[in-house]
Amino acid sequence: MQKIIIKKKSENIDRHRNVTFSCLEAIAIIMVIDDHTGRHIDILSNVFPYNSFYMPLFVFISGYFYKKTIYVKNIKSKIMHLFVPYMICALIGNAIAYLLDKCNIVHWYENINGKNLLQWITICPPSTTSAGWFAIMLVWVSISYSIIQEIINVKNKWFDYLELLILVGIGMSAVYFCMEGYSFNLKYLPWLRMLFYLQFYHFGIVFKKYWEIYIKKMSTCLLCGICIFINLLLIYFYGYDINFSASCWMANFNSYYLPVITSLTGILFWYKIMHEFSENWGGVDFQQSIFLPKIHFGLWRVIYFLLISLVFIHGIKKYFKE
């Protein structure tokens, strides 16, 4: 009987955890769309500028769901679930670009040869699908992290913290070299990008293992207040130089240490907000309170993406009106 109760509690925790992270993914995707369509929604971007945390947030989420298995199996999984879909989309995008080029509509097509194929695999596909840079970056971050863990193979809380500190230092070094212009060299770019994002991948794992239980218990007003205070203080001293565009070309950094601080405050703030939302309005209790039938977890994703689509359409309409 006791085992059944424990199992049910565990399932309940997992359910809430998944809803929290679905909410977190949803708000992050809305921010990406809003950022690319003129910022008409502008979700607290005066305090938490989108470019000060949202790309590390996606990597943090991926790290949170990392499962340590045999590293070969992990690599195969990343190739099948990330790399293969990425390459298919890139090839389809290039095929569409070829047709548009032949119809003399736009000239984005690039002939596939050894040089640009290597660029596809390491950096990003051509301009038609260049947003795929994130997928290929995540492939290399995930694979390299799996290899590192296989080599080290130490299960220890303090070693996890030490590894986090080392990766933060490496991430800062990567930013320093980007600020020195090394990211404009295609030989260095994929390495610098990977080294920068590894810290956030590992932070997702550390957060899940050691921090999450305390963050959940912490007062929402206190934690969010601390995050807001830190960001306002940084904005006061540095202005909106706290923004950094750690995207495809890693070219717009203003500081080698600010990205770590603003990413941390942005991630913790939105995690806590989305956790409160999922606990109070995102679960079954809320559905019952407004006389809705129990909704399967997968359907929540559909609802989120419908909302995101509406936001996207609204942004496009505003853009063309202007």
What's the pLDDT score for residue 174?
95
In the prediction, which pLDDT does 67 show?
A: 86
Backbone angles phi, psi at 252, to 5 degrees: -120, 60
Per-residue confidence (pLDDT) for residue 12, from 0 to 100: 46
Place of tokens 């990413």: 263
pLDDT of residue 204: 97
pLDDT in tens, 274-289: 998 888 765 544 444 4
Residue pair 127/94 in contact (Cβ under 8 Å)? The answer is no
Beta bridge partners of 118: none
Residue 175: its pLDDT value, please?
95
> What three-state secondary structure class fits 88?
helix
What is the structure's pLDDT at 290?
40
Query: What tens digit of pLDDT does each residue of 92-118 get?
Result: 877 887 888 788 877 766 666 666 777
**Which residues pair with residue 245 across a beta bridge?**
252
Cα 41 to Cα 35, 63, 232, 272, 303, distances in angstroms: 9, 28, 20, 21, 19
What phi-psi label fits residue 295: left (phi over 0), alpha (psi between -120 and 50 degrees) or beta?
Answer: beta
Give the span between the Cα atoms of 249 and 179, in whole angstroms.
11
Give the pLDDT score at 126.
60
Q: Residue 294 has what pLDDT?
A: 45
**Which of the residues in the chain have pLDDT under 50?**
1-16, 284-298, 302, 320
Phi, psi of 234 (to 5 degrees): -65, -40
The residues, any chain, with a CB within 8 Å of residue 224's CB and separated by 6 or more, are 269, 272, 273
User: Closest Cα partner for 135 from 96, 87, 178, 167?
Assistant: 87
The one-letter amino acid code at 99 reads L
How many CB atoms lie under 10 A from the CB of residue 293? 8
